[in-house]
Amino acid sequence: MKKAEKVAFIQQELDKRYPHPPIPLQHTDAYTLLVAVVLSAQCTDERVNQITPLLFQRADNPYDMMKLTIDEIADIIRPCGLSPMKSKGIHGLSELIVNQHNGKVPSTFEELEALPGVGHKTASVVMSQAFGFPSFPVDTHIHRLAWRWGLSNGKSVVQTERDLKRLFPESSWNKLHLQIIYFGREFCPARGHDPSSCPICSVVGRKSM
């Protein structure tokens, strides 16, 4: 199967199974989404969604978050893991949003990635899901599946993002990255994966998984 045929099949299969994929992290605006994405590093979306209501009850905007101490934030978000680092990032990014952006989450990659605790993947999620800017956030699910499907060489998430952006139309990126995440969770897990029973791997997957 040629790569163009693979891409068309994958797009068709994902559209059929997930025509309207919801955003996994619960949020009410760009700021609460940004905080939720920071918390999601090495943590499940389900766990993040259990913790953010507790955090946002105390502070759902950068002004109130600044008033909390780093230790207070860390106490609330501890179940998400990496709480010392994440609490510093959340407090620091809140200060910068207030002091440099008039309390509004910036809407460019450059400005987002300049915030504490915000890398390219986090910025891509916010740009895509909060601002609707065509982006292709690559998490571990997407990185793994792109390799399994022969769409990228799997050397780095940077290369995977570049390859996927080249293969799929820009208009599909914002929905597609969510579709791949949901598909990975349902059919294509990291462990115990049976390629022969996977609706996509069984058709386009590499011979060596």
Question: Domain residues of the chain, as ranges?
Answer: 3-21+136-204, 30-129
Which one of the listed residues 121, 163, 165, 175 is annotated catalytic? 121
Q: In terms of residues, how long is the chain?
A: 209
Look up 139 and say whether it is catalytic: yes
Under DSSP, the state recorded for 125 is: H
| Ordered per-residue pLDDT tens for the chain, 209 residues | 899 999 999 999 999 999 999 999 999 999 999 999 999 999 999 999 999 999 999 999 999 999 999 999 999 999 999 999 999 999 999 999 999 999 999 999 999 999 999 999 999 999 999 999 999 999 888 999 999 999 999 889 999 999 999 999 999 999 999 999 999 999 999 999 999 999 999 999 875 43
Look up 121 and say whether it is catalytic: yes
Classify domain 30-129 at the CATH class level: mainly alpha
Distance, CA of 72 to CA of 50 (rounded, Å): 17
Which one of the listed residues 139, 155, 165, 194 is annotated catalytic? 139
Reduced to 3 states, what is the DSSP secondary structure of residue 38? Answer: helix
Classify domain 3-21+136-204 at the CATH class level: mainly alpha
